[in-house]
Amino acid sequence: MKARRGVLEGRLGGFEERRKGLAERVAKLKAEAAECEKELQAAKRRGMSDGSTSRERQAELRESLVRLTSQLSSSKAEQRESERDRKSAEALDNLKRLIPGTFGRTFDLCKTTHRKYNAAVTIAMGKAMDAIVVEEEGVAKEGIKYLKAQKCAPETFVPLDSIRAIPERLRRLGGTKRPILDVISVSDKFAPAVQYAVGDTTGERYKVVTLDGTPRRQGGRPLGGTLINKAGLMTGGASHQDAKRANKWNEKEHQLLKARAEEAQRELASLGTADLQLTSSKEKKIKKELADLAAAAKAAEAELRSLEKKRDSRQKEVDALTTKANAVEDAVFADFSKSLNLSSVREYEQRQLVEEQQKEGRVLELQAQYDKLNSRLQFEQRKDLPRAIEKLRAAIAADDAKLKAKRAEQAKIEEKSETLRAQAATTEAELAAAKEEQDAKARKLKKELKSLSDERARLQARQAQLETDIQQLRSSRQRTFQTARLQESFSPTGLVGTGTIEGGAQAEPAGEEQEEALRAAQLDETGAAAELLRVTGEVEGMAPNMKAIEQFEEVQERLHAVEGEWDTSRSAARTVSQRFSAAQRVERFMSCFSHVSKVIDDIYKELTKVEGVPLGGTAFLSLEDPSEPYLHGIKFTAMPPAKRFRDMEQLSGGERTLAALALLFAMHDYRPSPFFVMDEIDAALDNVNVTSVAKFIRARADEGKLQFVVISLKDNFYEKAQGLVGIYRDRKLQGSNTVTLDLDAVEPLPAGA
């Protein structure tokens, strides 16, 4: 039921709107018919006077045409345009027609306040004078595509949404200097484009006089088109090309004059024939309009009566449905209406509607009153300037008093600071004296320590000498014993105890007695040496054993044979070890080389992806000697995207930097390290490559397996970091300090902010 009522109410509303429209149309048609009737009568009355009026209008048009022709002849604008300019103008017209958001060239959107500034503004704008101003960067890209498709000459586009106008910091120069933008008239919408075109150029006017003081015409470098660039070089004088471009400012005025002259000629030509046909044609037209209006009014009245009948029928249906719907609503919301002492829920809705309307009206009333009072307040504030001046003076006086108090406080602080400095100087002097005393004690202790160290070294040397002498005595004694055993003619029982020598066998030690004898010999080195000399003399006086030499030669031959076998075994072992080491070295080297050469191409592609070349560049490694790769070099070849093959030495600094980073990250992939420390790796990179490297590093850091500490001075690099660390000089601490900023905790700015 509600749906049907809604449909009927919608239809009823449509009928009502159509009825109102038709009623208005009928009234309008009747009014137009009356106006046409009046106009017809007036046209008949004016018939006699139109001839004189036409002649006066023709005289005015002739005078205007003569004046415009004179102005055109005196105009200095170019009357002939080249084929290239014509095609460029046609291309611009097509861009305006096909691509919304194309506004025109820079010089078409502005004008100079006086013609004398044309040359100066032309020099200041340079090539940007002919740039095409568009609404956004997307419009510029579409325009470039269109120009390429039509094979038109290249054009420069200036998008208003992305250009950065240079701040007007030169206004602080004072004097006669002012930004050249002040002599250009332009709307606020296109002001950024014009400000971007002229940059920081200033104009400075001054008088030129002769040596005798006779004044000449006003002029100066800006009026003549002289420009001083940032390097201090002066480029000036209007060349032929600059003069031709400067005439474009006059060309707009010339085109306007030309259009006005053509319009005057057309109107003058039409007046001759129009006057003859004016009365009759106008009368016929008005009569036809009267007939059409009468027919339209009659049809509209018939349609209006039909719609009124339909409206009455639909209104009855709506009333019946409304009655049923109200009964249903009263039954559903009976308890709710009873709790609020209401006859029906519609009364509650009506009351709420009235309250909301009253609130809205009150809010609008208060807002209007607030705006009125605010305007009055601003007016009174601007009006009451003397009181404001007095307030400012009082504030200045109060600030002066505060400044005096602060200066007095500063003087006290400085006095206290001087006292503290004096105390600090005294303390430093005492500290220096104490330090000198401690240094003297330390030097004395060092001297004593050195003397003790020298004495210790001397004693250690003496001890070593004695140990050497003892060892020599022991060796001499041992040789004597061996000689005696070989000759079988002496038994050193007097020295080492009792024993026997039979059949050439060696005498065995006599146990504890022998050890005691040895200890006694060690304790009494002097006696042992004397005894050893005595025994040596006795041995030399004895008869030699002739078999001892043969036995010695046999033993020596066996020794040489064993030494030869040992040398052969050692040489074979060394050869096997060298072969094993070489094989192991090649295996390890090739394992690293294979992995690095496998991943370096993917890494280099990821680092060099640019718009238009999504695959990036190509990089690969090659060995100069595969048999012994570790003894020779490795050739690294990198080809940047959309460029032909060249040696690494012929690449630019930024391209070599990207290649080096790719090799570094590939080697890291073989033997990962926990973190990287990079110092200004982006110094030789442009903005596009800086962004690519920053994205690559951030992606590796987000994986959680690697950390980067990067030193960079480029904002489009460190803005992608997780945190920033800055170092600054702390004057209070007289040293350096650090500040940190967690960028992950900072909300990013919305696009376009």
Q: What is the pLDDT of residue 208?
A: 35
Q: What is the pLDDT of residue 544?
A: 53
Per the structure block, which two tokens stand in for 150? 């039509």
What average pLDDT does range 205-233 have in this prediction? 41
The structure tokens 């129009």 sit at: 274
> Does residue 184 carry a pLDDT above 80?
yes
The domain at 672-753 falls in which architecture?
A: 3-Layer(aba) Sandwich (3.40)
Q: Would you give the DSSP letter of residue 257?
A: H
Q: What is the pLDDT of residue 299?
A: 77
What average pLDDT does range 702-708 have in this prediction? 83
pLDDT in tens, 132-150: 999 888 888 988 988 888 8
Q: What is the pLDDT of residue 507?
A: 39
d(CA 684, CA 655): 9
Q: How far is CA 427 from CA 347, 441, 537, 731, in A?
A: 92, 21, 82, 22
Q: How far is CA 102 from CA 97, 142, 159, 229, in A?
A: 8, 10, 9, 31
Q: Return the CATH number of the domain spanning residue range 546-667.
A: 3.40.50.300
Confidence of residue 660 (pLDDT cuts 50, 70, 90): very high
Q: Which residues pair with 623 in a beta bridge?
A: 634
d(CA 243, CA 118): 9
Which of 73-77, 257-261, 462-466, 674-678 is modeled with the greatest confidence? 674-678
Q: What is the pLDDT of residue 736?
A: 92
Amino acid at the residue 54: S
Q: Quick one: what percent of the chain has pLDDT higher than 70?
A: 64
The domain at 98-238 falls in which architecture?
A: Up-down Bundle (1.20)
pLDDT in tens, 585-627: 778 888 898 999 999 999 988 888 877 677 788 888 888 887 7
- Which residues, in sequence order, are CB contacts of 629 under 8 Å at separation 6+? 586, 589, 590, 593, 623
> Does residue 304 carry a pLDDT above 50?
yes
> Does residue 717 carry a pLDDT above 60?
yes
> Does residue 372 carry a pLDDT above 70?
yes
Phi, psi of 62 (to 5 degrees): -65, -45
**Global pTM value:** 0.29
Phi, psi of 17 (to 5 degrees): -65, -40
With H, G, I as helix, E, B as strand and everything else as coil, classify residue 676.
strand
Every domain of the chain and the residues it spans = 2-64+267-308, 98-238, 336-383, 388-493+513-544, 546-667, 672-753
Confidence of residue 675 (pLDDT cuts 50, 70, 90): confident
d(CA 365, CA 476): 130
Spatial contact of 605 and 625, defined as CB atoms under 8 Å apart: no
With H, G, I as helix, E, B as strand and everything else as coil, classify residue 176.
coil
Q: What is the pLDDT of residue 212?
A: 35
Confirm whether 98-238 and 546-667 share one CATH topology. no
Amino acid at the residue 461: A
d(CA 734, CA 726): 17
